[in-house]
Structure formats: structure tokens, C-alpha cells
Amino acid sequence: AQSVTQLDSQVPVFEEAPVELRCNYSSSVSVYLFWYVQYPNQGLQLLLKYLSGSTLVKGINGFEAEFNKSQTSFHLRKPSVHISDTAEYFCAVRGRLRSQGNLIFGKGTKLSVKP
């Protein structure tokens, strides 16, 4: 079984400041890792994913995340945020086998970017 912990439920930050949203996971099997973003009144949009290879993954809108196997973490970062980044961010994992295809989500982190 897998589980995901997002340590911060809310992160307020000023525009153009850097931000890091933390995600830790636990799993008894090898996993794929994902970050999704949910803008107000919208569905979930994939930001980035880690499948294999380089542990630093770049996604859309200037976001990146680093997979750290020893710390079982997959933190999301952006060097300079914009007002438009205000949204809720969800970290998710799934097992690598097709039979383990369902996503397990964290509780989400609400990023609030202030001018």
C-alpha cells in the first residue's frame, strides 16, 4: 500500500519569491510520482511526473521537482512565483505495475501568492 503526506496545508508567499511544497511518500513497492494542480473550480491538471531516470523533473509553468529515494520525498519547487500560481497542489503516487494504476493523493497544499 502507498500513502502520501503533504506537510503543509497552506503556503502563503509573495509574488516573485521562491516556493517549495513538500511531499513525502511511503510504499512497499516501486512507484511513479506526480504533482497535479487544481485551479479554483477546475479539475486536476498534471504539472509533472517522475517515472525513471534523472531525479530532477521539470514541468509546466516553471515548476520542477526532485525525487529523493533515500528520503522518500518529491518536493515541488518554483524559483519565482506569480499571482496566477495561486491554486491547490496535490502530490500523488502509484505503483509501477498496471494493476497498481490508481493514484494515491496527498491532502493537498493551497498555495496563495500575494502581490
Partner 1 sequence: EPEVTQTPSHQVTQMGQEVILRCVPISNHLYFYWYRQILGQKVEFLVSFYNNEISEKSEIFDDQFSVERPDGSNFTLKIRSTKLEDSAMYFCASAGTTSTDTQYFGPGTRLTVL
Which chain residues interact with partner 1 by CB under 8 A? 32, 34, 36, 42-46, 49, 51, 90, 92, 96-99, 101-108
Nearer to partner 1, 13 or 44 (CB): 44
Nearer to partner 1, 15 or 64 (CB): 64
What one-letter code names the amino acid at 69? K
Q: Smallest gap, in angstroms, from Cβ of residue 68 to partner 1?
A: 20
Nearer to partner 1, 22 or 49 (CB): 49
84: three-class secondary structure by DSSP: helix
Q: Smallest gap, in angstroms, from Cβ of residue 61 to partner 1?
A: 16
Q: Smallest gap, in angstroms, from Cβ of residue 4 to partner 1?
A: 8
Cα–Cα dist 115/14, whole Å: 6
Query: DSSP state, 7?
Result: S
- Give the torsion sign (CA, 54, 31, 45, 38): negative
What is the rounded radius of gyration, in angstroms, for the C-alpha atoms of the chain?
14
